[in-house]
Amino acid sequence: MSNSFSTEALAAFHLLEDSTATLVRCGVEFVIVGGWSPFLFHSKKYGHPGTFDVDVLLHSKSLDDGTFDRASEELMQSGYLRAAKNPFQAHRILRVGAEDFVFHVDFLNEREPRDELEFVGGNGRMKSIYTQSMQAVFRYENYRTLPNYPGLRFPSPETFVVTKAAAARVAKRGRDAFDVFVTVQDQDKIKFSELWQKLVEQDGLFEDANQALLKALSDGDAIKKIRHVLQSLPPCSSNGATLPNEDEIHDAFSFLVSA
């Protein structure tokens, strides 16, 4: 397959397909997290700006049985590069038009480290980074799939929200609150609220995510960031849907459990 593309978006699709094909072939157990889920599953109503990297959540099993190490060696043999600063990233140079662009794959894991300051680890040359909220994804084993992407799994809506909640409070991260918004507005409001309340009551990860989103809405700039992303999308992205006002955006988060 050619590594020359007419747009950055097409190059990003290639990165997703190419990198995960190696992981699947090597028997790595993983889930695709990050921006691909809202883009592939929840962009019909309002559109989505897309994503240019691939976030791969590795199961602890694949960190122990050597499958990830073998896959990472194959990735490097096929042109992926290790990152000096962030050893949990694999970089890939792809040609877009007449220019070379650097894209990257982030490898995450959900295994709590022995040393709380050592978030990056691994046995091979390529590493992965621990992110606590990702534990929810494998804990419930509730995944989504797409026929066009055989072998790939994506988080369920509720576990995806958990993985994004804390980042929605970070000022410099402009897309996480939007990703949560387009995901939850696509759900059956009553059923999702009931499920979310149940999970908040029984799981600390969901309780923490719930509190983070409440604070992002009340004390942070989540609404402003959501509106900014919506307004930045081309008109054709929304399929004729009227952009929601502030009250309607707040209403999408009515599933949250108030203190």
Single-letter residue type at 204 = G
In this structure, are 171 and 63 located in the same domain? no
Secondary structure element (H or E) that encloses residue 10, with its range? helix 8-25
In this structure, are 104 and 88 located in the same domain? yes
In this structure, are 81 and 148 located in the same domain? yes
Q: Which pLDDT score is estimated for 114? A: 76
Residues 121, 127 contacting (CB under 8 angstroms):
yes
In this structure, are 168 and 51 located in the same domain? no
Q: Which pLDDT score is estimated for 113? A: 79
pLDDT, one tens digit for every residue, the chain (259 residues)? 457 999 999 999 999 999 999 999 999 999 999 999 999 999 999 999 999 999 999 999 999 999 999 999 999 999 999 999 999 999 999 999 999 999 999 999 998 877 766 789 888 999 999 999 999 999 999 999 999 999 999 999 999 999 999 999 998 898 999 999 999 999 999 999 999 999 999 999 999 999 999 999 998 899 999 999 999 988 766 666 788 999 999 999 999 999 6
Calpha distance 233→49 (Å, rounded): 7
* DSSP letter for each residue of 192-252: HHHHHHHHHHH-HHHHHHHHHHHHHHHTSSHHHHHHHHHHHS-GGGGTTPPPP-HHHHHHH
In this structure, are 92 and 166 located in the same domain? no
Residues 104, 148, 138: CA angle, nearest 5 degrees:
65
Calpha distance 171→228 (Å, rounded): 13
Q: Which pLDDT score is estimated for 146? A: 96
Q: Which pLDDT score is estimated for 238? A: 61
Q: Which pLDDT score is estimated for 116? A: 67
In this structure, are 127 and 206 located in the same domain? no
Look at residues 118, 135, 155 and tell me which one is the last residue of a structural domain: 155
Look at residues 100, 131, 155 and tell me which one is the last residue of a structural domain: 155
* Structural domain boundaries, residue 63: 1-155
Residues 136, 206 contacting (CB under 8 angstroms):
yes
Residue 119: give its domain's CATH number.
Answer: 3.30.460
Q: Which pLDDT score is estimated for 32? A: 98
Calpha distance 40→45 (Å, rounded): 12
Q: How many domains does the chain have?
A: 2
In this structure, are 215 and 176 located in the same domain? yes
Which phi and psi (to 5°) does residue 133 adopt?
-65, -20
